[in-house]
Structure 1
Amino acid sequence: MSVLALDTSNYTTSAAVFDGREGENVGQLLQVRPGELGLRQSDALFQHVKQLPQLMEQLAAQGRLEHIQAVGASTRPRAVEGSYMPCFLAGTSQAQCLAHMLGVPFYAFSHQQGHLAAAAWSAGRLDLLEGPFWAWHLSGGTTELLRAQPEPDGVAMTAEILGGTSDISAGQLIDRTGVLLGLQFPAGKAVDQLSAQAEKVKPFPVKVENCTFSLSGMENKVQQMVQKGESPETVARFALETVARAVVKATRQALEQYPGLPVLCSGGVASNSLLRQVMERECGAIFAQPRFSTDNAMGTAILTWRALERERAQ
């Protein structure tokens, strides 16, 4: 017995199957033209519609689509009123059609809730979903420090934003740095690999107040470094070191407010090796496995399973 879930974010098409203990996620990055910094929603939606059948074929070839008991989808970015992004319509509509065809329940969750569930599960800490915890959602479009706690039904989590960036996200800074250095968008993985070739550099002292900081000035600093002819390795390391130090400062401020709460890091930027090293060492942070840090449907599948189990227990 398994459940199926779909996630169609602004960067990745993904589908996952989960049986209560183990699961399989398959995904495909959306294609961005060289030199561009993202996709229009209409282009993202079009690519999702094309790619979803291919992912379902992969799962079917693995024998993963037998005995599906429920279908879930990420239907919006965050679980708050007014949160909306057209690209999620691709996964939502197909998941609802599949649920009707199979005669099984359909469950809706947010992309962010899926990230938190996937991070906790892949870190071997699914127990985190049973109580309050600090959570970083670090992605191409989001750098939010959340105070997460279980929803009343005990399935997913509410997430109150208590910090993060006040302007561009960490992922945007990293991606824009990569594009300035001639790397393909999204550039997180390539910037990470490039930075590993540089000596340790002194980060820019980003000001952090009430767990909140700004990175827009950092984009200007990176542009200046490129114009002055600094090596790509040094520029990449500078950007990542600066992001890591800002995140650490904000986390420490959060732990002063609510000491003792665990800290979970999710989202594509959380797969960055330098950030992981610093946060684990200085804040005891818990990280998803790298493949479950980036956009994926596994967290939504896990939440779909939890919702199905709760419904059957009633």
Structure 2
Amino acid sequence: MAVLALDTSNYTTSVAVFDGQTGCNRSKLLEVRPGELGLRQSDALFQHVRELPGLFEQLERQGLLDGIAAVGASTRPREAEGSYMPCFLAGSSQGRGLAHTLGVPFFAHSHQQGHLAAAAWSAGRLDLLDGPFLAWHLSGGTTELLRVEPQGCSVKGEIIGGTTDISAGQLIDRTGVLLGLNFPAGKALDELYRQTDAGPGYRVKLDGLHFSLSGMENQVKKLLERGEKPADIARFALNTVCDVVHRATVAAQDQYPGLPVLCSGGVASNRHLRHVLTEFCQAIFAQPQFATDNAMGTAILTWRAWREGGQV
């Protein structure tokens, strides 16, 4: 028996199935016009509704939609009161409708819970979900350091650190757009990074486990105005992010000794960040394809809830 899950985040439409051991995720990145820094929620919602049938068709052609035992969906950004974003209505409404049609239970999760589950599973460490751990959620809209505890068949994260303003992903994407790259710019900026051996980035001040990145966008603009090479600017931005995330991780490990560190979110697929945190902090990373937005984590949590007959 398998379960079906949907995730309709701000930039990716995803549908996945999971049978307790293996799974399949199908995703479609939403379209952002060249030069723009994102999507309005109404545009994202429209694109999700348009793309979902095609993703279901892909799973159907693989014979993966037979015998679905439960349906789950990401219904909100975080597991917190008042957490809401309209784009998640596309997945949650279709998920609830499918569950009623099939006569199977529906389980609601948060987008962040799905990220953590996908990261743990793809790293071969699903056991992490059964105990406390530290986690980074590093994405286009979120840079949060969490202390995570089990919550029934799922998990709940308490924010203990991260940015106080723009996210690491926003700095990376804004840097990329300034350099003429398409949004989202993470992969392209990562490729530019490898084309130079320019010096380190800016040493951002760490206030406990929190830090600010808003001033770094102005620093990037100044480098661009001075005529610095795009590869050097890319390296400056990525080194700045990697350095402050590394230092915050070390500080968190000192404050919460013995807890493993799990890294999720699209920014966590950056090769330099993975190298630094793996070598110096023994951090655990999602496989790159499951670091970005996906429905696999939501499917994993749905399967755990269905297996236990739990409520989430």
TM-score range, shorter chain: over 0.9
Q: Give 1:272's aligned residue.
A: 270
Q: Give 1:141's aligned residue.
A: 141
Distance 1:202 1:21 in 2: 42
State the shift of 1:256 in Å. Answer: 1.0
Letter in 1 for 2:212: S
Distance 2:296 2:223 in 1: 39
Q: Give 1:121's aligned residue.
A: 121
Secondary structure (helix, strand or coil) at the match of 1:24 reads: strand
State the shift of 1:115 in Å. Answer: 0.0
Provide, for residues 122-144 of structure 1, a one-character-per-residue CA deviation record: whole Å limited to 9, x for no partner.
00000000100000000000000
Secondary structure (helix, strand or coil) at the match of 2:309 reads: helix
Task: Give the number of aligned pairs.
Answer: 311
Q: Give 2:234's aligned residue.
A: 236
TM-score where L is the length of structure 1 = 0.98
Q: Which stretches of structure 1, 4 residues or more, deviate above 3 A after TM superposition?
A: none
Distance 2:83 2:198 in 1: 39
State the shift of 1:200 in Å. Answer: 4.3
Q: Give 1:249's aligned residue.
A: 247
Distance 1:202 1:271 in 2: 20
Of stretches 196-205 and 184-193 in structure 1, the one that deviates more from structure 2 is 196-205
Letter in 2 for 1:123: A
State the shift of 1:93 in Å. Answer: 0.4
State the shift of 1:242 in Å. Answer: 0.6
Distance 2:199 2:9 in 1: 34
Distance 2:206 2:91 in 1: 37
State the shift of 1:195 in Å. Answer: 0.8
Q: Give 2:186's aligned residue.
A: 188
Q: Give 2:49's aligned residue.
A: 49
Distance 2:196 2:278 in 1: 21
Of stretches 46-55 and 250-259 in structure 1, the one that deviates more from structure 2 is 250-259
Distance 2:200 2:252 in 1: 24
Superposed CA RMSD: 1.0
Provide, for residues 267-287 of structure 1, a one-character-per-residue CA deviation record: whole Å limited to 9, x for no partner.
000011111011101111000
Provide, for residues 272-307 of structure 1, a one-character-per-residue CA deviation record: whole Å limited to 9, x for no partner.
111101110111100000000000000000000000
- Which ranges of structure 2 fall in alignment gaps of 5 or more residues? none
State the shift of 1:210 in Å. Answer: 1.1
Letter in 1 for 2:103: G
Distance 2:190 2:102 in 1: 43
State the shift of 1:194 in Å. Answer: 1.1
Distance 1:106 1:144 in 2: 28
Provide, for residues 219-272 of structure 1, a one-character-per-residue CA deviation record: whole Å limited to 9, x for no partner.
111110111111111100110011000001111111111111000000000011
Q: Give 2:13's aligned residue.
A: 13
Provide, for residues 144-195 of structure 1, a one-character-per-residue CA deviation record: whole Å limited to 9, x for no partner.
00000101x2x11110000000110000000000000000001111111111
Secondary structure (helix, strand or coil) at the match of 1:66 reads: coil
- Which ranges of structure 1 fall in alignment gaps of 5 or more residues? none
Distance 1:103 1:290 in 2: 35
Alignment identity in percent? 69
Secondary structure (helix, strand or coil) at the match of 2:21 reads: coil
Letter in 1 for 2:191: Q
Q: Give 2:208's aligned residue.
A: 210
Match status 1:83 vs 2:83: yes
Provide, for residues 48-92 of structure 1, a one-character-per-residue CA deviation record: whole Å limited to 9, x for no partner.
000000000000001110110000000000010000000000000
